[in-house]
Amino acid sequence: MAKTNVVDMTGKVVGEIELNDSVFGIEPNTAVMHADVKNYLANQRQGTQSTLTRAEVSGGGRKPRRQKGSGMARQGSTRAPQWTHGGIALGPKPRDYSYRLNKKTKQLAIRSALSAKLAAGQMVVVDSIALPEIKTRSMVNFLKAVGAEGKALVMTNDVEKNVVLSARNIPGVKTTFSGIICVYDILKADKFVVDKAAVEKLQEVYAK
């Protein structure tokens, strides 16, 4: 099993933790991670875009000119797509873009993302992530101390209200907990800052 340092909220090394190789030590499967990210982004789409067809735009009740004899092309309506203010041909209509990946694929994507972060040295394990009060400055100081300035994903074991509210105004910082893990968020973050208890929970859930 691989080992990594555990730090406290001041950035001081306070111990080590063993990481399960089946969760944090596999060869990242880029194709599966790509499929998971595509699935996540597709599921975020609202699909509310809509254009009007020639049947839905107003006007065009009569033929604009006679069929023959004008020397111009025959036209049946001024609301055909080639006319100004005409309908849109083959334009988008409301639709559902969401689809599901199978469970094994999603789990492999999560293990691949976690392994990629550890291999790249972008994962920081903290013995306990908790704040006594809601204060953005405290969260900024914590992230700076553990080397997670910039884009960071902070994961706690359970929902920590003070942590969530202290981080919500910091650009590029997102919080989550071990019950909600997203491959897109892990890969997007420059640093993955995770509570020791959350690491143990992830290993319990995703270890083979």
Domains of the chain by start residue, with CATH: 2-46+98-206 (3.40.1370.10), 51-91 (no CATH)
DSSP result, 30-79: HHHHHHHHHHHHHHH---------TTTSS---S-SS-SSSSSS---S-TT
Q: Model-level pTM?
A: 0.83
Per-position b or e across 20-51, b if 16+ CB within 10 A of its CB: beebbebebbeebbebbbebbeeeeeeeeeee
pLDDT tens profile 76-132: 999 999 999 999 999 999 999 999 999 999 999 999 999 999 999 999 999 999 999
What is the pLDDT, as a whole number, of residue 198? 94
C-beta neighbour count of 155 within 10 angstroms: 25
Residue 2's pLDDT is 81
Q: What is the pLDDT of residue 61?
A: 84
Average pLDDT value for residue range 154-176: 94
